Amino acid sequence: MRDEIWVFIEYQDGEMIENCKEILYEAHRLARIKGKTVHALVMGKKVKEVYEDIKRYGVVTIYSVEHSLLATYTTDAYVAALESVLTMYRPLLLFMPSTTNCRDLAPRLAARMKTGVVTDCVKFTWGSDDVLLMTKFIYNRKAHCTFDSHTGRTQLATVLPKVFPPALPKQCEEEVPVYNVPIRLNSSDIRTQVLGVIEAEASSVDLSEAGMIVAGGRGAKSKEGFMLIHELAYALGASVGASRVATDEGWVPFERQIGQTGKVVAPKLYIACGISGAIHHTMGIKDSGTIIAINYDKSAAIFGLSDIGLVGDMHEVIPLLIQKIQKY
């Protein structure tokens, strides 16, 4: 087992995503305590475009895997590629961002490599020897739990965004070596094919930064019904969010989804309309300021979390609210 801490780099337009900068900050902190080194692992079809950015964050080496089958993310290709790289180099730890891709990738990879993975970590401390203690929230953030790992194999962890500060870029004085790792991938082993990529709406705001959110769920009933959510949001100057039902139905794009597999938000005001309050949704809104719920079922779970509850049909309540708001 090598004495190295690796960070899996996700990137966009030649720059690594913010979550990776935060992981690099924490990786360097952990490395300093134990005298270890931090290395980056980057994969894709045109990986070179991100080298310059990575080099500014104090890594000792960049391990690079370039392959046409890694052009867009597929579970089979990325798991196979990562497995062969990790089997070859056997780093002590591999940190990954808690992005949609890595949330899919990390558990699959851990199962394949018979190693441990802790997802959505919020804290790391060293235990005895080289055992890392990894802490994450459980029970809808009501408690936290710390895990350690004794598998003797590379430990995997995904890290929640906005928990650690981002590492700051520095002028790179020393040459950072790039190792091009050769891997074998067969297109016949890859069971899914990406037919196209739908770009996110250019104008969409980052929900995790929004100050006010009006979100709609199954209660909206249709894409046309969901227009009411847009109208209320417009009247308030708020952003539009949604439950998974609403995004799965195609009433709003996926980047509007809030919850476990969507965005984690913390607005000052959150209005949930026709949303039941399933735990997968509410874990994404727990840090909101005031929560208002509109639901015609007075026993809906969302009322347990809300500060203000309006029991009624959202298709009747929302137009009245809009009228009131417009009077001010």
Check residue 274 for interaction with ligand FAD (CB under 6 A). Answer: yes
On whether 157 is known to bind a ligand per the annotation, the reply is: no
* Cα–Cα distance measured from residue 6 to residue 319, given in angstroms and rounded to the nearest whole number: 53
Distance CA 294, CA 259 (A): 18
How many other C-beta atoms can be found within 10 angstroms of the C-beta atom of residue 200? 10
Q: Locate tokens 């949704």: which residue? A: 281
Q: Least separation, in Å, of the C-beta of 240 and ligand FAD?
A: 14
Binding mask 283-322 for ligand FAD (x = CB under 6 A): -x---------xxxx--x------------xxx-------
Sign of CA dihedral 217, 107, 43, 96: positive
- Taking CB under 6 A as the rule, does residue 108 contact ligand FAD? no
Q: Is the CB of 159 or the CB of 300 nearer to ligand FAD?
A: 300
Residue from 85, 102, 275, 292 binding ligand FAD (CB under 6 A): 275
Q: Of the candidates 169, 238, 214, 243, which has an alpha carbon nearest to the alpha carbon of residue 310?
A: 214
If the CB atoms of residues 44 and 262 are measured against ligand FAD, the closer one turns out to be: 262
Q: How are beta strands 239-242 and 212-216 bridged, if at all?
A: parallel
* Closest distance to ligand FAD from the beta carbon of 247 (Å): 8
Binding mask 133-172 for ligand FAD (x = CB under 6 A): ----------------------------------------
Q: Is 245 in the site for ligand FAD (CB under 6 A)?
A: yes
5 is in an annotated binding site: no
Please tell me whether 261 is known to bind a ligand.
yes
Q: Is 221 exposed, middle or buried (0-12, 13-18, 19+ CB in 10 A)?
A: middle
